[in-house]
Amino acid sequence: MSEDVSIPISQRASVNGASFSSDFFKGLNPEQADAVRSTEGPVLVLAGAGTGKTRVLTTRIAHILAQGLAKPWEILCVTFTNKAAREMRERTTRLVGPSAEGLSNLGTFHSIAAQMLRRHAELVGLKSSFNIIDDDDQTRLLKQIMEARRIDTKRFPPKLMAHFLDQWKNKGLTPDKVAKMTADEGAQFAFNKGPELYAEYQERLRVLNACDFGDLLLHTLKILTEHPDILEHYHRRFKYVLVDEYQDTNIAQYLWLRILTNANRNLCCVGDDDQSIYGWRGAEVDNILKFERDYPGARVIRLERNYRSTQHILSAASGLIRANSARLGKTLFTDQEGGEKVRVQGLWDGAAEAQGVAEDIERLKKQGRAYSDMAVLVRASFQMRAFEERFLMLQIPYVVVGGPRFFERAEIRDAIAYLRLIQSEDDDLAFERIVNVPKRGIGDATVQKLLMQARLAGQSVMAAVRDLVQTDELPARAKTPLVGFLRDYDRWVAALKSTAHDALLDMVLTDSGYYDMQRADKTSGGTRIDNLKEMMNAMQDFENLEAYLEHVSLVMDLERDNGENSVRISTLHAAKGLEFPVVFLPGWEEGVFPSQRSMDENGLKGLEEERRLAYVGLTRAREIARVSFVANRQVFGRWTSQIPSRFIDEMPIEHVEATSQTGYTQAGWQSQESRWDRAGYQPNHTKSETKTEGRFSDRLSGVDMSRLEKKPQPHRQPAAKPQPSKGLSVGTRVFHSKFGYGHVVETEGNKLVVNFDISGEKKVIDSFVEKA
DNA sequence: TTAATCCAGATTTTT
DNA sequence: TCTGGATTAA
């Protein structure tokens, strides 16, 4: 989110000097200053890409503090990600010094809601020690509920139900409200059992003393609605409310903000409708579009001066986004004249594309650019593979953003489940995860019996186990290991008081035989144990177990790979808020980007969101943006003909420089037309339109489409020119990727076998072998 | 309880 | 084409 120019030293010097507040305004343009200064009443700041959004927010906080308008804890400032929150805190600290530490209400929607909910948990039937479950637990819980009701989980996948559940929660709908929506697709789930399942799910969560992410908001919303005294308290407390990335709020978040800002309307929302790319996750662009209606008398301030990109890049992006209908409209401008035009290149296939990008990278590197100045941004993660392989071959260091995350690793989740169970005995989901990990001879059948018993008795599974062990209802084969498990468990709980929590985990893992199990497993190569050690290290930073668990459930972003000097390969979504001098945007083909599925499922709305994604991609670039597409692409192992994305045509030609090595085939064109037909869309350019003056597609390959022969061409790349893999001999260490460090174990012609130390995975790379 | 086999599904992802 | 989840057999 380093969206703007760094703060001049003169301002940093003005730390904690309330009387120097005017210094904050130095270097701000008039609109930015206006946005900072308008502290009375509701304000919407429409901040285009690269216009200094974060700077406005942080300066605004600094200004409020410096003017003595509020104490640090009287400012509510919400973001979406922990990263954004962290950055906001850091940058505010730079402006106002240590007093920024007191900003206790600066955080993500979820962390702030969790804070509030812990304080009033009993009002919604929870204990304040409640656990926060993730979507894996959510799905498993749903599955249990459905199986207990004898719903065919094959016909009605719990995953799908979980999806509906999320959608309802995003919209702030409670089970009773859903029950009335008979037309709703989710409500009709499994023969209209949607609402029932929802209700039972909520009830089960209450019994488990747990809640999911959506509940954090919904429960607080409920408390605020039903308890005017509490609401009153927060109204008095939050004198100023600031919201980052307002275009990404969903309805629940909207309602939550609404109620919190009702009486006190010093609300400042910052966002950009053109960068709303999370619609599929419940974000409502409408929230930002109707802000003025929601808050009558609101001021709308547009930030249109872009400090990031050159003229050509900005104009290409603006031209593109102009094709969208649902937008408030902004015209970005910059002082940075000229620069390189956006280059669009057509290539034969994915391998050629990766090769082209890699060559460009090496060329730019020779011209003195750092690898970390460059990024490859793709639509979907499967597109990353080709680049990884190529980069590996040429020894270009790279980092993949969004690989398997630390907390999603099985061993970490197991350890957390143990801790959760120790923290709260009611946590059946944690119990289920670890009763038989490592294997204790407690099989599925036994677990099912326990769950059933617990449900019948209306108690938690641990309680049920305690009871059952006293009786003779269980066969000795199941009973003995359970008794052993209980004994261990009780010892751990007792140890919780006397032992540091990281040492406790070590004890748990030793006693339970988890370490032994991992050591016995040769495939992991000891890295799992390293991960666990790493986790214990991290635990030391927390007061107690409870604090740590809160952290992991909400702040799952430990251990980010920080590729110091590496090219970044990332999805477009994950690149939001970042910027790079050089950006490569491969895979701009109809059906890939814009994604066919997105258009099929959401029609025009989906297409417009894809277009915003393209806009986000282009505007990440400071100096160089290079778009590419291919004529042939392998999708799910099948070769398909592609045609360039309509987005390519939508960039104004005068800001684009087109080159093509191969052009594209008539076959591709045709197959795309029929694809459009089937989906009921009108392509932006039809055959007759191809002749339109200045259209990119004309210049592209210099081929008259109508004269190309009809029969499909074989999708073979003319001649693969083998390149020697430079200096990659057996034993060479290859840098970090999402697979971790690795060593070359075998080279043979074009084939390269790499053994990755961290995952234990062996990967064969043969990017030069021709694919028929 | 574990290993072998079959089969649908295969964007984006934070909390 | 590849993969993980579920079913089936041993």
- Residue A257: which residues within 8 A CB-CB, separation 6 or more? A78, A241, A243, A249, A267
Eight-class DSSP state of A565: T
- Reported as a pLDDT band with limits 50, 70 and 90, residue A687 is very low
Q: How far is the CA of A372 from the C1' of B6 (A)?
A: 45
Non-local (6+) Cβ contacts of A475 within 8 A are none
B1 C1' to A436 CA distance, Å: 12
Interhelix angle A53-66/A30-37, nearest 10 degrees: 50
Write A758-767 long-range contacts (CB < 8 A, 24+).
Answer: A758/A527, A759/A527, A760/A523, A760/A524, A760/A525, A760/A527, A763/A739, A765/A389, A765/A392, A765/A393, A767/A351, A767/A354, A767/A386, A767/A389, A767/A390, A767/A393
A741 pLDDT higher than 70: no
CA of A444 to C1' of C9 (A): 17
Angle between helices A53-66 and A82-96 in degrees, nearest 10: 50
Confidence at residue A582, expressed as pLDDT on a 0 to 100 scale: 95
A15 touches strand B (CB under 7 A): no
3-state DSSP of A351-399:
HHHHHHHHHHHHHHHHCCCCHHHEEEEECCHHHHHHHHHHHHHHCCCEE
Judge if the beta carbon of A475 is closer than 7 A to nucleic acid strand B.
no
Binning pLDDT at 50, 70 and 90, where does residue A442 land? confident
Band (A676; pLDDT cuts 50, 70, 90) = very low
Whether any strand B atom is under 7 angstroms from the Cβ of A110: the reply reads yes
- Is A750 buried (19+), middle (13-18) or exposed (0-12) by CB count in 10 A? middle
Mean pLDDT of A665-687: 36
Percent of chain A exceeding pLDDT 70 equals 79
For residue A6, pLDDT beyond 70 = no
Nucleic strand B within 7 A of Cβ A467? no
Chain C nucleotides covered by protein, CB below 7 Å:
1-2, 6-7
- Is residue A571 annotated as involved in ligand binding? no
Is A603 annotated in a binding site? The answer is: no
pLDDT at A264: 67
Nearest residue to nucleotide B8, by CA–C1' distance, is: A154
Q: What is the mean pLDDT of residues A10-25?
A: 49
- Catalytic residues of A, by residue number, are 53-54, 244-245, 275, 620
For residue A34, the model assigns a pLDDT of: 84
pLDDT of A661 higher than 60 = no
Query: Residue A378's pLDDT is what?
Result: 93
Q: Is the CB of A651 under 7 A from strand B?
A: no
Gap from A475 CA to C6 C1', in Å?
Answer: 27
Q: What average pLDDT does range A748-765 have in this prediction?
A: 55
Is residue A738 predicted with pLDDT exceeding 50?
A: no
- Whether residue A100 is predicted with pLDDT greater than 50 in this model: the reply is yes
User: Which pLDDT band, with edges at 50, 70 and 90, does A557 fall under?
Assistant: low
Which contiguous run of DSSP H or E holds residue A315?
helix A311-321
Q: Is A606 annotated to bind ligand?
A: no
Contact by Cβ (8 Å): A450, A464: yes
Q: What is the total residue count of chain A?
A: 772
- Our measurement of CA A73 to C1' C5, in angstroms, reads 49
Given a cut of 60, is residue A746 above it in pLDDT?
yes
User: How far does the CA of A382 sit from the C1' of B12, in Å?
Assistant: 12
Worst-scoring range by mean pLDDT, A288-302, A600-614, A674-688?
Answer: A674-688
Which positions of strand B lie within 7 Å of protein CB atoms?
Answer: 1-2, 10-15
A436: which nucleotide lies closest, measuring CA to C1'?
B1
Average pLDDT (A719-747) is 50
How large is the average pLDDT for residues A428-450?
81
Instruction: Dump pLDDT digits (tens) for A242-300.
Output: 999 999 999 999 999 999 987 668 899 999 999 999 988 889 888 988 898 888 888 89
Question: pTM for this one?
Answer: 0.78
Instruction: Return the pLDDT at A221.
Output: 93
What is the per-residue pLDDT across A109-134, written as a single tens digit (0 to 9) for each?
999 999 999 999 999 988 888 888 88
Q: Average pLDDT in the A93-113 region?
A: 89
pLDDT at position A416: 87
Q: Could you check: is the Cβ of residue A573 within 7 Å of any atom of nucleic acid strand B?
A: yes
The mean of the pLDDT values for chain A is 78
A605 carries a ligand binding annotation: no
pLDDT of residue A752: 61
Structure-block tokens of residue A455: 């449900």
* pLDDT (0 to 100) of residue A675: 37
Highest mean pLDDT among A31-40, A249-258, A708-717, A725-734: A249-258
* CB of A271 within 7 Å of some strand B atom: no
Out of A153-162, A213-222, A325-334, A532-541, give the one with best mean pLDDT. Answer: A213-222
Residue A634, CA: closest nucleotide via C1'?
Answer: C1
Sequence-distant (6+) residues with CB within 8 A of A45 are A35, A53, A56, A268, A269, A270, A271, A301, A303
- Whether A328 shows a pLDDT value over 80: the answer reads yes
Place of tokens 């904690």: A16
Nucleotide at minimal C1' distance from the A601 CA? B11
d(CA A16, CA A62): 9
- Which residues in range 153-172 of chain A are in contact with strand C, contact meaning CB within 7 A of any of its atoms? 153-154
Q: State how far the Cα of A240 lies from the Cα of A229, in Å rounded to an integer.
A: 19
Does residue A592 carry a pLDDT above 70?
A: yes
Nucleic strand B near CB of residue A395 (< 7 Å): no
| Low-confidence winner among A182-191, A345-354, A662-671 (lowest mean pLDDT) | A662-671
Higher pLDDT, A298 or A560: A298
pLDDT band, residue A717 (cuts 50/70/90): very low
> Which nucleotide is closest to the Cα of A380 by its C1'?
B11
pLDDT for position A703: 31
Q: CB A753: neighbour CB atoms within 10 A?
A: 17
pLDDT of residue A481: 86
**Residue A691 annotated as binding site:** no
Number of H-type helices and E-type strands within chain A: 31, 20
| pLDDT band of A724, cuts 50, 70, 90 | very low
CB within 8 Å of A150: residues ≥ 6 apart: none
Q: What is the pLDDT of residues A632-655, one digit of tens each?
A: 888 877 777 787 888 888 888 888
Query: Comparing A164-173, A459-468, A518-527, A578-587, which segment has the lowest mean pLDDT?
Result: A518-527
Report whether A161 contacts A188 (CB < 8 A). no
The confidence score (pLDDT) of residue A698 equals 31
Q: Report the C-alpha gap between A325 and A293 in whole angstroms.
A: 19
Residue A585 has pLDDT above 90, yes or no: yes
A636 beta carbon to strand C: under 7 Å: yes
Q: Give yes or no for CB of A710 within 7 Å of strand C.
A: no
Name the DSSP class of A771. P
β-pair type (A106-108, A75-79): parallel
What SS3 state is found at A705? Answer: helix
Q: Which one is predicted more confidently, A748 or A494?
A: A494
- The pLDDT value recorded for residue A440 is 82
Q: Which residue has the higher pLDDT, A103 or A441?
A: A103
Three-class SS of residue A677?
helix
Mean pLDDT value of segment A660-664: 48
